[in-house]
Amino acid sequence: MRLVALDPSAGRLGLSSGLSLADARARVPELAVFDHDPAADRRWLERLAEACLRYTPMVALDPPDGLVMDISGCSHLFGGEEGLAEDTGRRLRATGMTVRIAAGNTSAAARALARNPWQGGDECKAIRSLGITALELGEEATQALLRAGLKTVGDMAVRPMSGLAARFSGEGVERLRHLLGEVERPIVPIRPPAPVTAERRFAEPVAHTEYALSVLSELVAEVGEEMGRRDIGGRRFDATFFRSDGMTRTLSVETGRPVRDANSVVRLIRERVEGLSDPIDPGFGFDVIRIDVPVIEPLAAAQLKLEGGSISEMQMAALIDRLTTRLGRDRVRRLAPVDTHIPEQAQIALPAVEDMKPAAWQVSEAGEPPSRPLHLFDPPQPIEVMAEVPDGPPHRFKWRQGFHYIRLFEGPERIASEWWRRKDGAVDRPGLTRDYYRVEDARGRRFWIFRHGLYEEKNKPGWYLHGLFA
Amino acid sequence: MLEGGFARARLHEFFALDVGDCASAAGFATMLAIRATETEAPLLWLRCDDARRRSGDIYAPGVAELGSDPNRLILAMAPDAVALLRGAADAARCSGLPVLVVECWGKCPALDLTASRRLALAAERSGTTVIMLRADAKPSPSAAETRWAVRAARSAGEAGLPAFEIELLRRRSGPAGMRWHLEWNRDQSIFRDPALSGDLVSRSSRGSAATSAAA
């Protein structure tokens, strides 16, 4: 085990990361050690990134311990770059973080200035004063550059790029050009900026959730108006509450069709708030509330049909949205067919809020009894069956502590396994065939049972109950 | 018998006579839903997580085999009975929804007289026909227009044709206690008397879908 990260006091004791735990303990016996949890670090970094969305919509992660913000056109809202840096630093330090902030013309420059010591006044000089370790080229390449007498970025910048590329590596030159601002590398924001958005900032933090929600309603009305002017509607609405201590809470609602009616969106958001297992905690208050509409679709001005057909459709869509918001996306679904012989895979349940084209379903011929059950068990339920060997019909079976004497049967309907879809499938290893029987017991109940495997495929094939007929 | 038939925009309760009859009751509810609406209209089916464990998933090919279009079916799974009834109350108020099926397993203390009256009133106001499907439960006081017991019956003609024995347990306006033996004809979407094999049930008329018209 090795040390991954140290706090400043441990650093002062002469420990460094990468040191093995046994050595560190030998030097400092009272060392307090905690397990390294990269996933938790990552989650924490993501939360901090969300908190930084208050400054700009373009925030990117720089794992494991950095954030990159594109503040073009945003800094004047916070009193210039210095004001923005100060505010960011204050909030992040309040969460217990150690923060180094730097601004640069490109993301690479800002990143290098934040992570490395530098001297000099303006950005150009500062970049040139950086040691070449700022290029992060790896041990070997860095050593090669140092041996050639190139100690700072400035040393490299004055030499012709083509020579450097030929002698060292193309990668180093590319990094250098990023640092010098000759090439811009776009950042990948954690959330792409929403096409429609509205926000409100408060001089004094708002400590009441109810008031925050009423402000949110006003914001929804604002984005609704804007969408009305542009003839669009939103399919998703993200409400973000920024707490003054730097934490954020985002609530999303989705709708089955584009909407811009403020009342219905607010109702969905309230539904969402009520359904939360942990209520929104204002803490010391919210100081920014924002609504984003990340997914938009064209929505022409409403025109009501005389017969009311579209009204009932709209009401139905609103009902689906409400149920989806309350129960969750995966709990309100429609069924779609899948082209397969395996019964339990023949249907797929898709969220009802998503668009779906109506599909065709197979039905038996006229006059025939249903060939597929109304209820299907997935996985099938094992049953004990008395049947003729090898492939006779079942006589009696036991399911859930009850015996069923079979009066009528229909079958077998033989369904072979789809070996061409199996991972290890081949013609000579086809998997088990199922023989399905529709049976009716003495009390008139109808079941769908199958034998998993033919006798030539398996020694003692098992029987399963797969479905219940009406 | 049952003048005016099976009234729309009301709350109707269907009890599976025994746990094993749950699929029959569900099938009967599906068939009534088919009869109570136009073919295109949506059908919302509310269930609990518990129902999935006890009687399996609703299987769309099987729904299609009963003569309904699975594309109109919207399934909503509630985590518990309280959420189920809340969803049911919301759905019953939605006038864009012609038929709502609420599947409720076990005793369900949340479904008391108040809850059922709320559902019945919402159904009357919005025009939604609410089919309350009860399995593994004993009838308790409710505001339902009719209450039925459903059990599977032996299929008389072709093996495997859905057949039922239904008993009218209670009716708000009129005598109860009658029993019928019915078989479902998918192609014509009607119930028949398997013994007569004749058309016993008139086609649904506007405003009421008759389950049984002749004596």
Q: How far is A402 from chain B (nearest CA, A)?
A: 10
Which residues in chain B are contacts of A470 at CB distance < 8 A? Answer: 23-24, 26-28, 30-31, 62, 66, 162, 184
**Structure-token pair, residue A283:** 């803490």
How do residues B76-129 score in pLDDT, each as one tens digit? 999 989 999 999 998 999 888 889 999 998 888 888 899 999 999 999 999 899
pLDDT of B47 strictly over 90: yes
Q: Does A326 touch chain B (CB under 8 A)?
A: yes
Which residues in chain A are contacts of B28 at CB distance < 8 A? Answer: 470
Q: Given this model, what pLDDT does residue B200 score?
A: 43
pLDDT of B201 strictly over 60: no
Cβ-count burial of B201 within 10 angstroms (0-12 exposed, 13-18 middle, 19+ buried)? buried
Which chain A residues in 405-444 lie under 8 Å from chain B, judged by CB atoms?
A: 407-410, 438, 440, 443-444
Q: How far is B24 from chain A (nearest CA, A)?
A: 4
**Structure-token pair, residue A403:** 């015996």
Task: Please report the number of interchain residue pairs, chain A to chain B, with beta-carbon separation below 8 angstroms.
Answer: 196
Q: How far is B215 from chain A (nearest CA, A)?
A: 24
DSSP percent split of chain B into helix, strand, coil, nearest 5: 30, 30, 40
Complex ipTM, two decimals? 0.87
From the list B63, B79, B152, the residue facing A445 with the nearest CB is: B152
CATH topology of domain A102-193: DNA polymerase; domain 1 (1.10.150)
The DSSP output letter for B70 is G
Largest CA distance in chain B: 44
Exposure on the CB side of residue A127, measured as CA atoms within 13 A? 24
What is the sign, positive or negative, of the torsion defined by CA atoms of B84, B90, B91, B92? positive
Q: How far is B10 from chain A (nearest CA, A)?
A: 18
Which residues in chain B are contacts of A326 at CB distance < 8 A? Answer: 83, 86-87
> Which amino acid, B98?
P
Of all helices (H) and strands (E), which one includes residue B46?
strand B43-48
Cis peptide upstream of residue A390 (ω within 30 degrees of 0): yes
CB contact under 8 Å between B58 and A362, yes or no, is no
Q: Given this model, what pLDDT does residue B206 score?
A: 34
Exposure on the CB side of residue A314, measured as CA atoms within 13 A? 13
The DSSP output letter for B40 is T
- Per-chain mean pLDDT for chain B: 82
Interface test with B, best of A271, A319, A330, A465 (most B CBs within 10 A): A319
Which positions ≥6 away from A425 have C-beta within 8 Å? A418, A419, A431
- CA-to-CA distance for B116 and B113, rounded, in angstroms? 5
Residue among A418, A421, A419, A454 nearest A436 (CA): A454
Q: Does A350 touch chain B (CB under 8 A)?
A: no
Q: How far is A316 from chain B (nearest CA, A)?
A: 5
Rounded (5°) CA angle B215-B209-B93: 140
> Which amino acid, B128?
T
Q: How far is A272 from chain B (nearest CA, A)?
A: 14
Domains of chain B (ranges, CATH numbers): 6-209 (3.40.50.300)
CB contact under 8 Å between A469 and B62, yes or no, is yes
Q: Give mean pLDDT, residues B57-66.
A: 90
Which residues in chain B are contacts of A438 at CB distance < 8 A? Answer: 159-160
Instruction: Please identify which residue in the block is written with the tokens 């949340």.
Output: B110
Q: Does A349 touch chain B (CB under 8 A)?
A: yes
Q: Does A270 touch chain B (CB under 8 A)?
A: no
- CA-to-CA distance for A248 and A292, rounded, in angstroms? 14
Q: Given this model, what pLDDT does residue B46 score?
A: 94
Torsion of the alpha carbons at B189, B192, B194 and B196, rounded to the nearest 10: -140
Which positions ≥6 away from A202 have C-beta within 8 Å? A285, A286, A287, A288, A289
Do the beta carbons of residue B28 and residue B150 sit within 8 Å? yes
CB contact under 8 Å between B75 and A468, yes or no, is no
Which residues in chain B are contacts of A409 at CB distance < 8 A? Answer: 159
Q: Does A348 touch chain B (CB under 8 A)?
A: no
How do residues A355-376 score in pLDDT, each as one tens digit? 778 888 888 787 788 889 999 9
- pLDDT less than 50: residues of chain A: 307-308
Q: At what angle do helices A262-274 and A209-230 cross, to 10 degrees?
A: 150
A372: left (phi over 0), alpha (psi -120 to 50) or beta: beta
Question: Does 3.90.45.10 match the CATH number of domain A196-324?
Answer: no
